C-alpha cells in the first residue's frame, strides 16, 4: 500500500527561556486544531530545509531568523501519511512579530510547554531538545491520533 509522503520543517524560536508557539485555532480541517506547535511548513521545489524554515518563519511570524540550528529529524507515521520533518531551534531573529493566519503566536516558558495541549510525541522531542545537544532522529507512529510506537535513533521500543 502506497501512502502520502510530506517533507516539512519545524522551528521553535527561543528567547528569555521561552519558546514561540503557534496555538492552531484558525485553519479549517486542521489536523493540529487547538494544539500548540512550532512554526514551519512544507518544503517547496528546489528549497533546502534551511531555506524552507527561514521562509516559513517569516511568512508565519514576520520575523527573520538567522543561524537556525538543526536539532533533529522527526519521522511521523500518521495512518497512511509519512512526514519527514527537519526540527530546528533558533535564538537569533529580528523584525516585528505579526499576526498569523493559522492561529495565535504566544511566548511560553519552557517549563510550562509540556502542560499545554500537545501531541504526545511532541512532549518527547521537547524533552530531547532540553536534555540533548547532539542531533537525534525520532520516529513517532500514530494510529487514530494515538501514539503507538516511538523509536529514538533507530532503537526499537523507545520508552518516553
Of 11, 9, 12, the closest CA to residue 108 belongs to 12
- Give pLDDT tens digits along the chain (160 positions): 567 899 999 999 999 999 999 998 876 665 667 889 999 999 999 999 999 999 999 999 999 999 999 999 999 999 888 999 999 999 999 999 999 988 999 999 999 999 999 999 999 999 999 999 999 999 999 998 899 999 999 887 665 5
How confident is the model at residue 25, as a pLDDT? 81
Cα–Cα distance, 145 to 153 (Å, whole number): 23
Domains and CATH numbers, the chain: 4-152 (3.90.79.10)
Half-sphere exposure (CA, 13 Å, Cβ side) for 125?
A: 30
Phi and psi torsions of 17, nearest 5°: 60, 35
Amino acid at each position: 500500500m502506497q501512502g502520502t509522503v510530506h517533507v516539512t520543517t519545524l522551528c521553535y524560536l527561543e528567547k528569555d527561556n521561552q519558546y514561540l508557539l503557534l496555538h492552531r485555532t484558525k485553519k479549517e480541517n486542521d489536523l493540529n486544531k487547538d494544539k500548540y506547535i512550532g512554526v514551519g511548513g512544507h518544503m517547496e521545489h528546489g528549497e533546502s530545509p534551511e531555506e524552507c524554515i527561514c521562509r516559513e518563519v517569516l511568512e508565519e511570524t514576520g520575523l527573520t531568523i538567522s543561524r537556525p540550528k538543526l536539532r533533529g529529524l522527526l519521522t511521523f507515521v500518521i495512518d497512511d501519511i509519512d512526514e519527514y520533518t527537519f526540527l530546528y531551534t533558533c535564538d537569533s531573529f529580528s523584525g516585528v512579530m505579526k499576526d498569523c493566519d493559522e492561529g495565535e503566536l504566544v511566548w511560553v516558558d519552557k517549563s510550562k510547554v509540556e502542560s499545554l495541549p500537545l501531541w504526545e510525541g511532541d512532549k518527547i522531542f521537547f524533552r530531547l531538545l532540553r536534555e540533548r545537544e547532539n542531533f537525534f532522529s525520532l520516529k513517532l507512529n500514530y494510529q487514530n491520533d494515538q501514539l503507538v510506537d516511538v523509536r529514538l535513533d533507530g532503537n526499537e521500543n523507545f520508552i518516553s
